[in-house]
A and B are shown apart, each in its own frame.
Chain A
Amino acid sequence: MTSLEACVRESKARISAAASGERFASAFTPTAAFVILVACAIPILTLEARAQLQSTVGTQSVLQSLIKWFPLILFGPPREFGGFALNIAVSFLAMALGTAVGIVLGLGQISIHRPLRNLAWALTQFFRNAPWLVLLFFVMLLTPFQIRLFGFSIPLPGWLKASVGLSLPIMANMSEIVRGAVNSIPTAQWESAESLAFTRLQTLWRIILPQCVRRMIPPWMNWYAILTMATPLISIVGVNDAMTLTQDALSAEQRTDLLMPMYSLLLALFFLYCYPIARWTLWLERKYAVKI
């Protein structure tokens, strides 16, 4: 019979009153997605109609052109790796690299050795606050085209270097995620582990980090989405990604009526890939927020 109970009960009553509104809100986002898709489709369709009217023998309609170029933009030129598939591949590679190094850097930030901690902190801040494109240029221009290892020369393709370049900001942000998650674990956990005679490494590995994983997943996924949306930057440094190929296709066609549909198509590709990830992240965030 505490006041808290009273509070909870009355708020429950209010929640059930608001429930009908809530249900609408959850239906709201698919609606939004639909509106966006339609908005993307409108310029394509209207231009399509106009192109049909204007079309003379020999020129293709907008839709035909889009269909013609779509496989190239999606998978790159035949027998070559490129296009949107390359964007995704680069995002995977950069994410894997950035996560691995970032975890080490993040653990460095919570190290008990002061110099190590300071170094990890400085590296994290540097790569977190530098513009992605500048870092990308840095790696692209300052690493060699090939490296010599045991007398073999191994070529370093552009997409590989680009992945390294994009992994740097991911690394720094991952480092912050690790630091934040470890710091969010109550100190009582450290103390109780210490009283059970665990070493620091054991405590970290067996007790603290497993508790962190759940907290780290939503921000980690959020950074993956941001990274994926940064992958078109590699077109600037000359990698055959979807962006480069879209521009190639446009310059091959030399048709102004294709500009809008082609860019819309590219936007739609990224949207269809990133939007579900964003929804999933939000869902996980809510799910874990309740349990922790």
Chain B
Amino acid sequence: MDSFWEFLRHVHDAYGINLVHFYDSFERGRLLKGMLTTLQLSVLCIGLSILIGIFGAWLQGSRFRVLKTLVQAYIQFFRNTPPLVQMFFFYFALGPLMPRVVNDYGIAQPMLGSFAWAMISLSFFAGAFNIEIFRSGIDAVQSATVEAADALGFSRWQAYRYVILPLAVRICLPALNNNLVNLVKTTTQAYAIAVPETLFVASQIWSDRINVLEMMITLLLFYLFLVGILVWGMIRLERALAIPGFGR
């Protein structure tokens, strides 16, 4: 491996292609850490937003109009305002209202840091879309199929558990896939509240080492790779759940 880094160092000296973020162990270390942060943020947000989606879709099926209206208001608010402003609102406006905790060094600091706020705001943002996606999946299950379950004596819960949900999940996978890809791409805006994710670290490197173009291309390839893995995983899941003769 070391010889490969040496080769890259040589490429820099000989051709001026500055891949310092690979061959310099310090820069490589912080870039990797940034990528890890992006990965953590993405995985946590995906999990949390799916939970919000399930919970919200369940609430929307409730009989209480007030509850439904509240969920609808939540969805419309997060769908129709910029995710960046939402993040700033959470971090700068709500953040200071949180209680402060004293850390190990005896200094009072906010209970939630920028990473936590980025995670919360992005999850709420993507969660709003997930609710609509899950809800439309449930609604797309033909009422006739549900009637058949009823006629066979299934309870409401059994019909949900064994008929509606298994079908709804399959129906909404493509839309969920799109939304999660979008979520992973949106994690870059955590840059704005100084979460040390990939874009943030990359911008530090390119201002320290003046290798904007090389760094930028690395950055784009990294995100294409990340999105590629997610899409690949979702397609694998879709195939694994595919039923012969159902949907197309």
Question: With A and B bound together, what is the CA distance between A225 and B79 in angstroms?
Answer: 10
Q: Mark A258-284, 1 if CB is under 8 A from B, else 0.
A: 011011101100110011001000000
Question: With A and B bound together, what is the CA distance between A39 and B77 in angstroms?
Answer: 10
Contact A132-B84, Cβ < 8 Å, known A256-B96, A259-B92: no
Residues in A whose Cβ lies below 8 Å from that of B69:
28, 31-32, 35
Q: At the interface, yes or no: A180 with Cβ under 8 Å from chain B?
A: no
Asked whether B81 lies within 8 Å of A274 as measured between CB atoms, the reply is yes
Q: At the interface, yes or no: B171 with Cβ under 8 Å from chain A?
A: no
CB distance from B232 to the nearest CB of A (A): 12
Q: At the interface, yes or no: B76 with Cβ under 8 Å from chain A?
A: yes
Q: At the interface, yes or no: A129 with Cβ under 8 Å from chain B?
A: yes
CB distance from A87 to the nearest CB of B (A): 9
Q: How large is the interface on A (under 10, 10 to 19, 20 to 34, 35 or more residues)?
A: 35 or more
Q: At the interface, yes or no: A4 with Cβ under 8 Å from chain B?
A: no
Residues in A whose Cβ lies below 8 Å from that of B82:
228-232, 243, 270
Interface residues of B in 78-106 (CB under 8 A from A): 79-86, 88-89, 92-94, 96
Q: At the interface, yes or no: B191 with Cβ under 8 Å from chain A?
A: yes
Q: How many A-B residue pairs have CB under 8 A?
A: 120
Q: Which of A235, A243, A260 is close to B93, meaning CB atoms less than 8 Å apart?
A: A260
Q: How large is the interface on B (under 10, 10 to 19, 20 to 34, 35 or more residues)?
A: 35 or more
Asked whether B212 lies within 8 Å of A229 as measured between CB atoms, the reply is no
Residues in A whose Cβ lies below 8 Å from that of B96:
256, 259
Q: Which of A141, A262, A267 is close to B81, meaning CB atoms less than 8 Å apart?
A: A267
Q: Mark B172-207, 1 if CB is under 8 A from A, else 0.
A: 000000000100011111011000000100010010
Q: At the interface, yes or no: B70 with Cβ under 8 Å from chain A?
A: yes
Question: With A and B bound together, what is the CA distance between A130 and B199 in angstroms?
Answer: 12
- Residues of A at the B interface (CB closer than 8 Å) are 28-29, 31-33, 35-36, 39, 126, 129-134, 137-138, 141-142, 225, 228-233, 235-236, 243, 247, 250, 256, 259-260, 262-264, 266-267, 270-271, 274-275, 278
